[in-house]
Amino acid sequence: MVLGLKQSPTLERAKFRLQASRQSLEADVGSTLYPQLDAKIGSNRNKINGITFGQPNFSKIYDLQSASLNLTYNIDFFGGGHRYLESAQANVDFLQYELAAAKMSLVANIVNVAIHEASLRGQISVLNEVIASQQKTLELLKKQYDYGAIPRINVLQQELQLAQAKTQLPVLNKALAVAQHQLTALLGEFPDATLASFDLTHLTLPHELPTLVPSALTRQRPDVLSAEASLHQATALIGVATANLYPKLTLSADYGSQTSKFSDLFSSGSSIWGIAAGLVQPIFRAGELKHRKKAAESTYQQAAAQYRQVVINAFQEVADALSALQYDSNKEKLELKAQQAAFDSLSLIQAQFNQGAASYLELLQAQRQYQQTRMATIQAKAALFSDSAGLMYALGGGWWQPNGGNVMANHEKPTLGEVKVENSL
């Protein structure tokens, strides 16, 4: 798990995107809230002629050296600058939640692929046991046939049963290879990397799984928080568009010196200075500013609708996860009962077959049913693990209050990344 969080190119891209946004915000704070002070130094060589003074034969070459400090400050009377910074901060928040969502999605994918791999390994293990058992049965039947105790059809049926079992191995092994390659990719590794394997018997569920969760927990989801940040950004941009309708006041001041020689640059009498104030009031823009404000308001309405949709989807996913958890939990219990019943039936028919009281066809049917129930039990158990991980994902990482108020008092608080595995990644 840690390896994936360290090496994932997707997370790395999201981290640098967030870092760039934070640096841009810091730059905007400096340029918006504080005065700008610049130092200037220059050297010019110029030639003038006297034709403009009515003396065409007159010309002069002169040097001009200058050094000055320039101070400018934009006064944010109507809050446009502050609303712009608010918008930039909301964008940083959005990217931060997007990074959290990417991390949570990566963890969920790793957990689900690990569960799937463990399920496939369990099914392959069961199938190998079945093949070994059927191979022994085939050898026994061949000996009985050689002694004339059974007809050849029994041997042929067992050979068919064994062949059908063997044909399932390539399918499961192919799926296992695909799962392993998918897992290496999620961990930021190439397909030839060696990773730990998983065993379904070593995975454990949380101590208690909820059937109901507070609706407030949905708000801790990164997609809900990022939608909130987008809505916040849209409101701030309305403020920026509104402020652009009003005057902008700029103050500036210059102080320095100007001489014809560098050596006299800071001598007395060479100083120059200036103070200026500028006021800009939009008068005619052919409706540009008004329509930009309306566009910002429409963008806000779009963000509000998107926020509502994200919240609705979040509640749907939580409801789906709770339903899946409930139904798959019941299914696992039923599959375990079915497996036990199939095992008892197989044991009885095996004993009857050994005593000649049951036909070989009855034995084959009992073996097939037991194999199917074992496979189904493994799949049901894997589905239950995936459901619990899916519920944690749907709730933004877990079913407890992020501010410290534990919904499940006196119980451990498992996280999506804490699916307990003997061979951890």
> What pTM value is reported for the model?
0.79
Residue pLDDT, tens place only, 398-418: 665 444 333 333 334 444 433
Residues whose CB is less than 8 angstroms from the CB of residue 410 and which lie 6 or more positions away in sequence, other chains included: none
Residue 187 pLDDT greater than 90, yes or no: no
The confidence score (pLDDT) of residue 66 equals 86
CATH architecture label of 2-34+77-246+286-394: Up-down Bundle (1.20)
What integer best gives the mean pLDDT of the chain? 85
The confidence score (pLDDT) of residue 1 equals 59
**Residues of the chain with pLDDT > 90: what percent?**
47
The confidence score (pLDDT) of residue 15 equals 93
CB 131 within 8 A of CB 104: no
The confidence score (pLDDT) of residue 161 equals 87
Average pLDDT on 261-272 reads 76
The CATH homologous superfamily to which domain 36-75+248-280 belongs is Outer membrane efflux proteins (OEP) (2.20.200.10)
Residue 212: pLDDT band (50, 70, 90) is: low
DSSP run (H or E) holding 38: strand 36-50
Annotate 211-267 with three-state secondary structure. CCCCHHHHHHCHHHHHHHHHHHHHHHHHHHHHHCCCCEEEEEEEEEEEECCHHHCCC
Instruction: Please tell me the least confidently modeled range out of 12-16, 197-201, 227-231, 344-348.
Output: 197-201
The confidence score (pLDDT) of residue 231 equals 95
The confidence score (pLDDT) of residue 419 equals 34
Residue pLDDT, tens place only, 357-403: 888 888 888 988 999 999 999 999 999 999 988 888 888 876 654 44
Residues whose CB is less than 8 angstroms from the CB of residue 62 and which lie 6 or more positions away in sequence, other chains included: 45, 46, 47, 48, 260
What residue ranges in 260-332 does DSSP mark as E strands? 271-280
Phi, psi (deg, nearest 5) at residue 416: -60, -30
What is the rounded CA–CA span in Å between residue 64 and residue 216?
A: 70
Average pLDDT on 343-347 reads 94
The confidence score (pLDDT) of residue 404 equals 39
| From-to residues of CATH 1.20.1600.10 in the chain | 2-34+77-246+286-394
Residue pLDDT, tens place only, 26-78: 999 998 999 999 998 888 888 888 777 777 777 888 788 888 899 999 988 88
The confidence score (pLDDT) of residue 267 equals 76
360-394 and 80-146 helices, crossing angle to 10°: 170
Residue 127 in tokens: 């199938």
Quickly list DSSP for 41-101. EEEEEEEEEEGGGTEEEEEEEEEEEEEEEEEEEEE-TTSHHHHHHHHHHHHHHHHHHHHHH
Residue 208: pLDDT band (50, 70, 90) is: low
What is the rounded CA–CA span in Å between residue 122 and residue 140?
A: 27
Integer angstrom CA distances of residue 97 from 18, 30, 84, 186: 10, 25, 20, 20
Higher pLDDT, 335 or 353: 335
Q: How many CB atoms lie within 10 A of CB 122?
A: 21
**Residues of the chain with pLDDT > 70: what percent?**
91
| From-to residues of CATH 2.20.200.10 in the chain | 36-75+248-280
The two beta strands, 55-75 and 36-50, are antiparallel
Residue pLDDT, tens place only, 287-329: 889 999 999 999 999 999 999 999 999 999 988 988 998 899 9
What is the rounded CA–CA span in Å between residue 191 and residue 197?
A: 14
Residue 5: pLDDT band (50, 70, 90) is: confident
Residues whose CB is less than 8 angstroms from the CB of residue 243 and which lie 6 or more positions away in sequence, other chains included: 78, 79, 80, 81, 83
The confidence score (pLDDT) of residue 385 equals 92
The burial class, CB within 10 Å (0-12 / 13-18 / 19+), for 97 is buried
Return left, alpha or beta for 410; rule: phi > 0 is left, psi -120 to 50 is alpha, else beta. Answer: left
The confidence score (pLDDT) of residue 298 equals 96
Residue 207: pLDDT band (50, 70, 90) is: low
Higher pLDDT, 261 or 146: 146
Average pLDDT on 182-201 reads 82
Residue with tokens 């939580």: 318
What is the rounded CA–CA span in Å between residue 109 and residue 156?
A: 45
Average pLDDT on 153-174 reads 92
Residues whose CB is less than 8 angstroms from the CB of residue 260 and which lie 6 or more positions away in sequence, other chains included: 62, 63, 64, 65
Residue pLDDT, tens place only, 95-125: 999 999 999 999 999 999 999 999 999 999 9
The confidence score (pLDDT) of residue 409 equals 39
